[in-house]
Amino acid sequence: AQTVTQSQPEMSVQEAETVTLSCTYDTSESDYYLFWYKQPPSRQMILVIRQEAYKQQNATENRFSVNFQKAAKSFSLKISDSQLGDAAMYFCAYTGNQFYFGTGTSLTVIP
Amino acid sequence: GAVVSQHPSWVICKSGTSVKIECRSLDFQATTMFWYRQFPKQSLMLMATSNEGSKATYEQGVEKDKFLINHASLTLSTLTVTSAHPEDSSFYICSARVGKRMAQYFGPGTRLLVL
């Protein structure tokens, strides 16, 4: 069965610094997508970044980038130049035949 | 693009009454819509998956007679909590996607409080 694991329940980062959130997944499928979602205190889930498994190039969206290691089944999120507005729960997600969420990482940004 | 609305955002009701929550994809047609429940500081718990014109597929442990889902069109799905009880109080979130393996886009959620 597919699973998504986020091993860091909480993380903190100084404003303007860089932080990396970890995610690993388990699957036997070859065709799948991976996502990072952000859930701020408003609780609105926001898509941050997506990665197609067939693409070797790591996805980037402004200050957000991923390190996709397909063989290791790892999909970490790097946030550069952290801002106060980045404080939120971050969920890693997998979609193949089914959709799975990780348990989330709570990110605190310290001014 | 990819905006999903959810209404109402807040609802308080008396025990025993029914509550309907609407989920709409505003600028795209959603082949599939999902309903989640989220408890404080926890991940999303999938309740059911619905495809337009088909019966919803419920996750194990979710009472289909209590949580009625209707997906009448490619842009609208509704969740009705029937005979609500205080233990049904929660945050309910819908999402929609265009195709399999595509991203899900989420509504802003509905906070339900049953007194």
HEC letters along chain B: CCCEEEECCEEEECCCCCEEEEEEECCCCCCEEEEEEECCCCCEEEEEEEECCCCCEECCCCCCCCEEEEEEECCEEEEEECCCCHHHCEEEEEEEECCCCCCCEECCCEEEEEC
Best of A45, A61, A97, A106 to disrupt the B interface (most B CBs within 10 Å) is: A45
Q: Which of residues 27-66 of A touch B (CB under 8 A)?
A: 31-33, 35, 37, 42-47, 50
HEC letters along A41-73: CCCCCEEEEEEECCCCCCCEECCEEEEEECCCC
- Using a CB–CB cutoff of 8 Å, tell me whether A102 touches chain B: yes
Cβ of B91 within 8 Å of Cβ of A101? The answer is no
Of the pLDDT bands very low, low, confident and very high (cuts 50, 70, 90), residue B72 is confident
pLDDT at residue B87, rounded to an integer: 95
pLDDT at residue A88, rounded to an integer: 97
- Using a CB–CB cutoff of 8 Å, tell me whether A101 touches chain B: yes
Mean pLDDT confidence for A54-60:
94
Tokens of B55: 């019966």
Tokens of A66: 């991923």
For B6-64, write each residue's pLDDT tens digit.
999 999 999 999 999 999 999 999 889 999 999 988 899 999 999 887 889 999 999 99
For A66-111, write each residue's pLDDT tens digit.
999 999 999 999 999 999 999 999 999 999 888 899 999 999 999 9
pLDDT at residue A1, rounded to an integer: 60
Query: In sequence order, what E strands does A1-111 have?
Result: 3-5, 10-14, 19-21, 24-26, 33-39, 46-52, 60-61, 64-69, 74-79, 88-95, 99-101, 105-110
For B77-111, write each residue's pLDDT tens digit.
999 999 999 999 999 999 999 877 788 999 999 99
Best of B6, B41, B44 to disrupt the A interface (most A CBs within 10 Å) is: B44
User: Which residue, A2, A8, A9, is CA-closest to A33?
Assistant: A2
User: Which residue, B84, B107, B81, B86, is CA-closest to B6?
Assistant: B107
Exposure on the CB side of residue A56, measured as CA atoms within 13 A: 0
pLDDT at residue A2, rounded to an integer: 65
pLDDT at residue B59, rounded to an integer: 94
User: CB-based contacts of B56: which residues, under 8 Å, 6+ apart?
Assistant: B48, B49, B50, B64, B69, B71
Cβ of B44 within 8 Å of Cβ of A91? The answer is yes
| Distance from the B39 Cα atom to the nearest Cα atom in chain A, whole angstroms | 11
A44 vs B43, B44, B109: nearest CB = B109
